Amino acid sequence: MAVTRERGRIRRVRPRELVADVDSARIAEAMEQVRHISKATLHDRLHRVRMATGLAVQAGLAALLAYLVSHRLLGNPQPVFAPISAVGTLAASVGQRFRRTVELILGVAIGVAIGDGLVYVLGTGAWQLGLVVTAAILLTIFAGASVAIVIQAAATAVLIVTLSPSTMNLEIPRFVDAFLGGGVALLVTAILLPLNPLRVLNRAARPALDLLATQLDATAEGLRNRDRARVQRALDRLRNNKSELDTFVEAIDGAKETATLSPARWHRRNELTHYAEAAEPIDRAMRNSGTLIRRAVTLIEDEEPVPEPMPDAVDHLAEAVRLLRHEFAVGDEPQQARERSLRAVSEAGRAYDEGVGFSGSVVVAQVRTAASDLLVASGIEQEEANRLIRQSFGDHNAPPGGRPEPDGGRPKP
């Protein structure tokens, strides 16, 4: 039976009470994690809504214009295909809308040809519908068409078979609507309502870079407190970064397409080029940071020394990521991000001097490598970035700036 002191007197604490206290602490920790997850989920959903608002408005305007042109100007009594084609074009992956328009028209042409040919020979009915769809898919795949063309050909063949008995001369309106819908979609995105490509990029880059910075912060704190669970959670979260990075890369493609098609955005081409060149080194920085965090977990498990400058180096790396995102967003030269990246390398050099184990040396090496990636993302050539990294690290028995072998001994110069 345990004994506690309460307000100057001794109180005996029963074992069951101690168990209750432990359970309460665990429950409190679990509830804190649940609250954090709930906040993150709500934040992610709101961010996705903000990201999709421009596309939703574009799609609504394109559907409206396609309907009006098809119905009022071309006299189509049932202008269904035109707005569907417009929305289908805009629903394509950002950066592929011109290609999607061409695929839409090709798919319609193939579907009309196959549907008309088989209907003429076989007539209409349930089994004819199944046969037409099967033939449309197999023939387009045999021709090496893309998935979008295959789907569009099959869908058009379905419409031809099912609507031909009740709608005469469906083929020509279907062609016209495909052209009309795709053309209106491109008109909306390029002329009438072009999105600001830099704003789109900034919104897309924020989740990826914030995710990286947050997990590096958690890793630094975990190293200071030797909190393996916290570092492991950071590693698990960073491993699930594919959606954030894919969104960023897709936004770059879309921004380049907008800057190419929209005269109002031509002046943004140089800035977009800078962003596009930053995508690959940011991807590398995330992967190298994943290696850093994984080795930090092993370092704590193996009870290796954690010199004070080591978590400081990881902290500086996290701040460099935030500064890079901010300076990209406002259009400034990322000087602060570069300076903070080099400071992270300098702290890593001090940690190496104070003495680290094998996993610690890998953490140091990955700080160097991730900092080099951030320098390249900021616009510095790789060779110059490597020189700056070596200079900032100092004249130490340094781990290599590249990727260390996982099963070797302590890295040597």
Which tokens in the block code for residue 225?
């407190």
Q: What is the pLDDT of residue 250?
A: 67
Query: Could you tell me if 33 and 144 are in contact, meaning their C-beta atoms sit under 8 angstroms apart?
Result: no
Give the residue-averaged pLDDT of 158-182: 68
Q: CA distances (Å), 366 to each of 60, 373, 399, in order?
A: 47, 10, 9
Q: How far is it, in rounded angstroms, from Cα 324 to Cα 340?
A: 10
Q: What is the pLDDT of residue 173?
A: 67
Q: How far is it, in rounded angstroms, from Cα 181 to Cα 66?
A: 6
Q: What is the pLDDT of residue 156?
A: 77
Highest-scoring range by mean pLDDT, 87-96, 162-171, 192-201, 378-387: 378-387
Q: What is the pLDDT of residues 128-150, one digit of tens each?
A: 888 888 988 898 888 777 777 78
Query: Could you tell me if 288 and 369 are in contact, meaning their C-beta atoms sit under 8 angstroms apart?
Result: yes
What Rg do the C-alpha atoms of the chain give, in angstroms?
A: 29
Q: Which amino acid is at 320?
A: A
Least confident of 143-157, 231-245, 391-405: 391-405
Which tokens in the block code for residue 208?
């990826």
**CB-based burial of residue 21 (10 Å sphere; 0-12 exposed, 13-18 middle, 19+ buried)?**
exposed
Q: What is the pLDDT of residue 375?
A: 94
How would residue 18 be classed by pLDDT, with cut points 50, 70 and 90? very low
* pLDDT higher than 70, residue 400: no
Question: Which of 407, 378, 383, 413 lies closest to 395, judged by CA?
Answer: 413
Give the residue-averaged pLDDT of 160-166: 67
HEC secondary structure over 195-251: CCHHHHHHHHHHHHHHHHHHHHHHHHHHHHHCCHHHHHHHHHHHHCCHHHHHHHHHH
Higher pLDDT, 30 or 206: 206
How would residue 344 be classed by pLDDT, with cut points 50, 70 and 90? very high
Q: What is the pLDDT of residue 331?
A: 72
Give the residue-averaged pLDDT of 202-222: 86
Question: At residue 29, what are phi and psi to the nearest 5 degrees?
Answer: -65, -45
Cβ neighbors of 218 (< 8 A, separation 6 or more) are 230, 231, 233, 234
Higher pLDDT, 21 or 198: 198
DSSP 78: S
How many C-beta atoms surround the C-beta of residue 99 within 10 A?
A: 15
How would residue 310 be classed by pLDDT, with cut points 50, 70 and 90? very high
* pLDDT higher than 70, residue 363: yes
Give the residue-averaged pLDDT of 341-350: 95
Higher pLDDT, 82 or 289: 289
Q: What is the pLDDT of residue 120?
A: 76
Helix locations, 91-170, DSSP H: 97-122, 126-142, 147-163
* pLDDT higher than 50, residue 407: no
Question: Which of 104, 259, 237 lies closest to 179, judged by CA?
Answer: 104
How many C-beta atoms surround the C-beta of residue 126 within 10 A?
A: 9
Beta bridge partners of residue 4, listed in sequence order: 11
Q: What is the pLDDT of residue 404?
A: 40
Cβ neighbors of 82 (< 8 A, separation 6 or more) are 66, 67, 69, 70, 76, 176, 177, 180, 181, 184
Q: What is the pLDDT of residues 49-66, one digit of tens each?
A: 766 677 788 788 888 888
How would residue 160 be classed by pLDDT, with cut points 50, 70 and 90? confident
For the chain, report the end-to-end CA distance as a whole number of angstroms: 58
Mean pLDDT (the chain) is: 76
Higher pLDDT, 119 or 397: 119
Q: Is the dihedral of CA 264, 265, 266, 268 positive or negative?
A: positive
Cβ neighbors of 193 (< 8 A, separation 6 or more) are 57, 58, 61
Element (H, E) at 17: helix 15-68
pTM tops 0.95 = no
Which tokens in the block code for residue 319?
């701040």
Q: Which amino acid is at 135?
A: A
How would residue 71 be classed by pLDDT, with cut points 50, 70 and 90? confident
**CB-based burial of residue 381 (10 Å sphere; 0-12 exposed, 13-18 middle, 19+ buried)?**
exposed
Highest-scoring range by mean pLDDT, 94-98, 146-150, 192-196, 317-321: 317-321
The helix/strand/coil state of 361 is: helix
* pLDDT higher than 50, residue 3: no
Q: How far is it, in rounded angstroms, from Cα 152 to Cα 168?
A: 21
How many C-beta atoms surround the C-beta of residue 71 within 10 A?
A: 15
Question: At residue 78, what are phi and psi to the nearest 5 degrees?
Answer: -130, 75
Question: Which residue is listed with tokens 């042109």?
Answer: 69
Query: Could you tell me if 204 and 250 are in contact, meaning their C-beta atoms sit under 8 angstroms apart?
Result: yes
Helix (H) and strand (E) counts in the chain: 14, 2
Higher pLDDT, 178 or 369: 369
